[in-house]
Structure 1
Amino acid sequence: MNISYKWLKEYVDFELSPQEVCEALTSEGLEVGSLEEHQAIKGGLRGLVIGKVETCEAHPNSDHLHVCTVDLGQGELQQIVCGAPNVAAGQKVVVATVGCKLYDGDKEFVIKKSKLRGVESNGMICAEDEIGVGTDHSGIIVLPESAKVGMPAAEYYHVESDYLIEVDITPNRSDACSHYGVARDLYAWLVRHGMKTSLHRPGCEAFKVDNHDLDIAVEVEDNKKCPRYCAVTLKGCEVKESPAWLQERLQIIGLRPINNIVDITNYIMFAYGQPLHCFDADMIKGNKVIVKSLPDGTPFVTLDGVEHKLSHEDIVICNEEEPMCIAGVFGGKGSGTYENTTNVLFESAYFNPTSIRKSARRHGLNTDASFRFERGIDPNGQIYALKQAAILARELAGGTVSMEIK
Structure 2
Amino acid sequence: KTARRHGLNTDSSFRFERGVDPNNTLYVLRLAALMVKELAGGEICGPLTDVYPSVIEPSRVDLRFDYLNSLVGKEIPAETVVSILKSLEMNLLEVTDKEVKMEVPTYRVDVTRPCDVVEDVLRIYGYNNVEISDSVRSALSSQTFEDRDNALRNLISEQLCAEGFNEILNNSLTAESYYNELPGYPADHCVKLLNPLSNDLSVMRQTLLFGGLESLSHNINRKMADLRMFEFGNVYFFNPAAESTADRVLAPYSESSRLALWMTGALRPGNWARKEEEATVYDLKAVVANIFARLGINPAEIRLSAGTSGLYAAGLDIATRSGKVLGTLGILSKKIAASMDIKQQVVYCELDWHALVNLSIRKKVSYSPLARTMPVKRDLALLLDKSVSMEQVEATVRESERRLLKDVSLFDVYEGKNLPEGKKSYAIAITLQDDEKTLQDKQIEAVMNKVITNLTKKLGAELR
TM bin, normalised by shorter chain, reads under 0.3
Structure showing greater Rg: 2
- TM-score (norm. length: structure 2): 0.22
Q: Which has the higher helix share?
A: 2
Greater relative contact order (Cα 8 A, min sep 6): structure 1 or 2?
1
